[in-house]
Amino acid sequence: MIESITISSIATFGTTPEQVNALSLFNFFFGSNGTGKTTLKEIESAYIRDIEATDNISNALLGLSFNSLIVEYDGFFEVIISDILTPVELINPKRRQGSFDKEVFRLISIEIKKHIQDFQFETEIADLSKEFLRDNTNWLLTEKTTMRIQFPLPQYAKKIDMLCKINCKLFIGTHKEQQASGGAQDNQAVDAGFLFNYEDNKLKELRKEFNVREVYLCVILERGNAKLTSSYWKRIIDIIRNKDNEDKYLLSSMQFLDLIKAEL
């Protein structure tokens, strides 16, 4: 059950987040015209549509329901992580240059920092040398930074979106927003699947290079209201559900945050 809602930058609500707390099974809202009653109803309806569209995919490793964090509303994607509600406008997904991905991982880093005080997001790291990345833990880098340090990519992949080291474990991730169907969904799935092309010897090299015991490959997917119809996504799901799978994940950004917390 939803216990609170945080709202900002929507309809009559300003940029300062406002909270509706202490929600129960039945809630009544009273107010004059223009106070936000209809906006609350529309947000609720969008949330319900999102949950109803869920394919009930469970992550084989986490055992969590696969619910999207993202609700599309008035041209914005609202990234909801705990009590944070940040609108990020996607004017043109092809020209966004990773800004949305970076914002998602910045918010995740804020949450991780609540549990690990010395955790560093890429903008807080002054020294990005190989020695720093090997000898230090508790940090997160996004796409452009991983390209700058020339992080080795799996076969056919053009980039990765996230590199995170927690304790003695390294998380390599690609981040996708699934808002379409047909060929566009196929392209997203194919691109995401490249992450699983790392060969065992390359993963062994990465463990040594970054001084970690384990490397986890994470396809982080925000589904929105789109159903996963592509056969390429189904192949990824089959890999995840394989009983021998120990290092591959398909999860939302909130579930990724839960995964990190489980390692603390």
pLDDT tens per residue, the chain (264 residues)?
466 777 776 777 777 877 777 766 566 666 777 777 677 666 655 554 444 444 444 443 333 333 444 444 444 455 554 444 445 554 444 445 567 788 888 888 988 988 898 999 999 998 889 899 999 999 999 999 999 999 999 998 989 999 999 989 999 999 887 655 566 678 888 889 999 999 999 999 999 999 999 999 999 887 655 567 778 888 888 888 888 888 999 887 878 888 888 877
DSSP-assigned letter for residue 39: H
CB burial class (10 A; 0-12, 13-18, 19+) of residue 87? Answer: middle
Q: Are strands 139-142 and 120-121 parallel, antiparallel or unpaired?
A: parallel
Cβ-based neighbour number of residue 195 at 10 Å: 22
* H or E element that contains 233: helix 231-241
Please write the tens of the pLDDT for every residue from 18-36.
Answer: 777 776 656 666 677 777 7
Please write the tens of the pLDDT for every residue from 121-137.
Answer: 999 998 889 899 999 99
Helix (H, G, I), strand (E, B) or coil at 173: strand
Q: What is the pLDDT of residue 260?
A: 85
Under 8 Å between Cβ of 6 and 85: yes
Cβ-based neighbour number of residue 82 at 10 Å: 12
Give Cβ neighbours of residue 41 (< 8 Å, ≥ 6 apart).
Answer: none
Q: What is the pLDDT of residue 98?
A: 60
- The torsion region of residue 81 among left (phi > 0), alpha (psi -120 to 50) and beta comes to beta
DSSP-assigned letter for residue 246: S
Q: What is the pLDDT of residue 3?
A: 67
CA-closest candidate to residue 195, choices 175, 223, 179: 175
Give Cβ neighbours of residue 140 (< 8 Å, ≥ 6 apart).
Answer: 105, 108, 109, 112, 119, 120, 121, 122, 162, 163, 164, 165
Q: Which two tokens stand for residue 78?
A: 């609202």
Q: What is the pLDDT of residue 137?
A: 92
Distance CA 48, CA 150 (A): 42
CB burial class (10 A; 0-12, 13-18, 19+) of residue 202? Answer: middle
